[in-house]
Amino acid sequence: MFANSGEVSAMMHATRRGAAGAVGMVEKDRRQPKDSAKRASATTHEGAAKAVRRAVRVLFCLSEERRGLGVSELAETVGMTKTTAHRMLSVLEDEGLILANPVTHRYEIGYGLVRIASKFLSSGDLPSTSLPYLHQLRDQCGETVVLSVRLGYQRIALLQVESTQELRCSTEIGSGLPLCKGALGKVLLAHLPPEDIEEIIQQYLGPTTIETETQKYELLTQLHQIREQGYAISHGERMPGGVGIAAPVKNPLGTVVASIAAYGPDRRLTQSRIQVLLPLVEQAAASISQALSERGT
């Protein structure tokens, strides 16, 4: 039986549509594995980034606790299950970055981190460039000299050359203090962008009240003055009876990357003595900045 011309035309049209649909399905099937692979890759990347971020937070938490922390404490602090925390701690311990105390069953910072830090302190541009000037300033003023850098909301003591006098101020290397407290921190804070200053002060003061608004205004006034005069002086902010004289250290672009300070007891650092030491601190900061500029770092 033969079909007429109209039937043939309709059949050919249906065939073309079916073929096109089949091709479309093939193309769709070809795309699906690629799309799935991309989604899987993105998920894997996000998971890896999250794991690394948690591991870093664990290390920072342990660095702030001299007695160490247990699995439950770390899990709660970092925000993960005890099972995940235990697995992560096991990996960090295997790599030598942390230690497990067999008596207290608490975890502490390990020697692997000390090795990493010592490498940075011996070969990093900022520490290696700054250290001779810190020794020189200590010898000139007779007080403890500290170099600090910013890490988040805190300033971290990177280097310290202690005074040789029996009564002296000192800090723990690697210890963190709020940027809003002390001359070293305020020098770093004063030279940040306004939006960063606002965020850090808000985090430090907490919920807004009449009292915190007053404190915020006073702090912003201090920071403006520090930017204008180029140095900061603190009295008893970090420790009772301690006085700090700090100045900024800048990189070749003029960005403040660190702060340097001379610290001593108020019985020695009287107002007249502060006026003698201030130019020495400023000169040491300027010398480090110049040395960094010459090294192009």
Domain of residue 94, CATH code: 1.10.10.10
Q: Worst-scoring range by mean pLDDT, 70-74, 188-192, 272-276?
A: 70-74
Give the residue-averaged pLDDT of 57-65: 83
Answer with the one of 83, 113, 143 that is the final residue of a domain.
113
Task: Among 59-73, 161-175, 189-203, name the most confident range.
Answer: 189-203
Closest CA to 71 of 109, 113, 105: 105
User: Is the same domain home to 98 and 152?
Assistant: no
Residues 57 and 196 grouped into a single domain: no
Q: Is 174 in the same domain as 220?
A: yes
Q: Is the pLDDT of residue 125 over 80?
A: yes
| Residue 33 resides in a domain | yes
Q: Which domain holds residue 153?
A: 124-295
Q: With 0-12 CB in 10 A as exposed, 13-18 as middle and 19+ as buried, what is 272?
A: exposed
pLDDT band at 181 (very low <50, low <70, confident <90, very high): very high
Residue 132 in 3-state DSSP? Answer: helix
Structure tokens at 11: 């059949």
Q: Is residue 119, in this structure, part of any structural domain at all? A: no
The answer to whether residue 286 sits within a structural domain is yes
Please check whether residues 129 and 108 belong to one and the same domain. Answer: no
Amino acid 263: pLDDT: 96
Domain count, the chain: 2
The answer to whether residue 3 scores a pLDDT higher than 50 is no
**pLDDT > 80? residue 161:** yes
Structural domain contains residue 92: yes
Residue 259 to residue 231: CA distance in whole angstroms: 10
pLDDT at 158 over 60: yes
Q: Give domain status of residue 246, yes or no.
A: yes
Based on the domain organization, do 84 and 214 belong to the same domain? no
Average pLDDT over residues 226-245: 95
Q: What is the mean pLDDT of residues 260-283?
A: 97
Q: Which residue has the higher pLDDT, 164 or 175?
A: 164
Same domain, 159 and 242: yes
pLDDT of residue 68: 87
What does the pLDDT look like over 198-211, one tens digit per residue? 999 998 998 989 99
Do 107 and 132 reside in the same domain of the chain? no
Domain boundary residue, one of 79, 94, 113:
113
Q: Which residue has the higher pLDDT, 183 or 33?
A: 183
Q: What would the pLDDT profile of 126-146 be if each residue is shown by its tens digit?
A: 888 999 999 999 999 999 999
- Is 101:108 a contact under the CB 8 Å cutoff? yes
Residue 241 falls inside a structural domain: yes
CATH number of 262's domain:
3.30.450.40
Q: Are residues 57 and 155 in the same domain?
A: no
| The pLDDT value given to residue 31 | 56
Do 31 and 135 fall within a single domain?
no
Q: Does residue 213 share a domain with residue 104?
A: no
Of 73, 92, 113, the residue that ends a domain is 113
- Averaged pLDDT score across all residues of the chain: 85
Within this chain, do residues 279 and 154 fall inside the same structural domain, yes or no?
yes
% of residues, the chain, pLDDT over 90: 57
Query: In terms of C-beta density within 10 A (0-12 exposed, 13-18 middle, 19 or more buried), how is residue 143 classed?
Result: buried
Confidence of residue 91 (pLDDT cuts 50, 70, 90): very high
172 and 259 belong to one structural domain: yes
Domain assignment present for residue 118? The answer is: no
* Rounded CA separation 168/148 (Å): 18
What mean pLDDT is predicted for residues 227-241?
94
